[in-house]
Structure 1
Amino acid sequence: MTLSPSRVLVVDDNAAFLDNLDELLGDAGYAVRAASTCRAAREKARDGFDVALVDLRLPDGDGTALAAELKAGSPDSEVVLLTGFATLETAVAAVRAGACAYLMKPCAPRELLLTLEQAMRQVRLHAEKRELARRAQVTEKLAAVGTMTAGLSHEIRNPLNAAALQLSVLERRVRRLADAQQGTLLEPLLLVRDEIRRLDHILEDFLQFARPREFRPGSVDVKALVRRVVDLLSGQAETRKVTLTQVVPDAALPSLAGEEERLRQVLINLCLNALESTPTGGQVTLAAGAEDTRVWLTVDDTGAGVPEAMRDRIFEPFFTTKAQGSGLGLPIVHAIVTQHGGTLEVGTAPGGGARFILRLPVAR
């Protein structure tokens, strides 16, 4: 697993210039997409970009107007305008369009790469600001959860336990009746029992999220961890008629520094979500590997995937798309991974579904 290269959208109607930039920027480690018209640029911008290099004069429109449109559609990205005919008016127009830089053609490779790197710094700064804002929002919600926890543990858990006990007594009494009488009585009784269990699980999520256990790391065998999770969930995968597979290298993997039980909880939660999101006949894949001083694990599915607009929110407490979800499953997973000194990201799997990527430090 490696970080994705920075994405550069180059918009120019000069084919030779596009080829030169493609080679130059590709050698510098950028992922380049080229467009020769405003229309083609708009289509390619839908897939996302980090920096756009836009010529002022294009066959089907004005580059300044296109730059403003691209910036409005992707505020966290940056635009650099290119021109062979610089004037004070075009420079002012570039600033108004939201461009972060303005280059004369032909520009020296070193100057172009330096400008591009400066633009990428701005892009990274935007991402950091967005992450800080997200963390602040999560912190506020965590404070709310902490305030609620004391009341929940006493005011809800005690009557919930009492109700479950009385329901169990009632169920035993009903089962002593004749079979003909049990049917109409057991159906609503079992429904109530299941709902009480669901409430108990939601309450447990609250308590676990608000009061995380003390972290006691040890050495965790990654291959054994993956094998255990797949074994535990193989029955559920079979019931849902979804193929659950593991992909681990033949070579030995370094051990993780963490708690095996909690990491197993993380992978089980992610795999269960993947199984629920995958249609009949689909596939969920749990894979593992190593890079530098970290071990990575991925959970891929062939479901509908996670929409781009939701990816920044799915780890927020109480955010859920499920009708009966507490909105704490993924936040708990994220909290455990963070406590282990790791990172958790969501992206797109090769099969088009969701991909969750964990990176965790190896044991020293």
Structure 2
Amino acid sequence: MHIRVERDAFVDALGPVQGVVEAKKTLPILSHFLLEASPDGVWLFGTDLDVGLRRGLTAEVVTPGAVALSAKKLYEIARELPQATVELQADADLQVAIRCQRSSFRMKGLPRDEFPSLPDLKGDDRITLETRLFRDMLRKTLFAVSSDQTRYALTGVMVQVQAEEIRMVATDGHRLALVRAPRRAGKGGDTLEALVPKKAMVEAAKITRDDGGDVRVWLAENQLILQQEASTLVARLIDGQFPNYDQVIPVPGPRKIVLGREALQGALRRTSAIMGERTTATEFEFRPGRVLVSCLNMDLGEAHEEIEATYDGDGFKAGFNARYLLEFLGAIDAAEVALHITDPLSPALFQAAGDEAYGCVIMPMRL
């Protein structure tokens, strides 16, 4: 194998693939990239067996071939090279010479047949989504995915593409984020439902660009395949039963409080500064026209801040996890937030004011 590639293009291709490579090195080969050159082009492929990313690379192919190289070291070398043409040439023993101006390196490679094969990319249910919409839906749900591996079915994002609507849902059992969007006119037909691992969705957000056209999504052999331009991401679906989330979303009732997003964000950040390592409830005391936000640390002291609110009902108190609220607030751009709550012990629904397409259900904490 012998190729020539511009340094910036090489680094731009290596970076995203580096993100999916197995860091723990369960199998030595999983800490490698597969670099493959053919008359049709040059491709990089990395995988941890659950998530894989194949990325095309604009390069001159002198001699076709393939070799697996240490992902971390190749990326580190490429980043330090000057902005010039990089030449990679593998000999019969898979010793790879890397040259760029006055710099030269030699890396040991592994044979292609030791590297996991790329799954069959053929499949049905091919869906086309607007990239900007796809990225926005990820931003509004990823924070709610569970990190508890014992609750396997909650460690991913549920993606549902219906005839007229697209949904993404995530929950960790204490909160639930749901975003809905109308499907683009003329793109109806196929439907899709997949429970996708968080890592795959995080990497999908990295490789897609708002100016990169549409994202194409389809299923093949219990895997989700996502493609945009020269990048193809393959993710093994989570084999688990996602909760029936519709039944936990409260129906908005008469008790509604509207707050300024920035005012609430600031109050939560400031009062949380007194909080210790142990997560405790941030108290909200709702009164007509205002809300008192309080945080108590038995070892250090307490913090209070009052903010204005649109509310004319009876006074009551409720406790919430401040981090959950801040993550929700960080996912929206609206000027105001609407809180729908029945009583202090029932799930509360937080939404951007005037936007019923996105909501975050948060379980209250006892005060």
The question of a shared fold, defined as TM-score above 0.5 by the shorter chain, is answered with: no
Task: Flag the structure with more relative contact order, 1 or 2, with Cα contacts below 8 A and sequence separation at least 6.
Answer: 2
Larger radius of gyration: 1
Which TM bucket (shorter chain)?
under 0.3
With structure 1 as the length reference, what TM-score do the two structures score?
Answer: 0.22
With structure 2 as the length reference, what TM-score do the two structures score?
Answer: 0.22
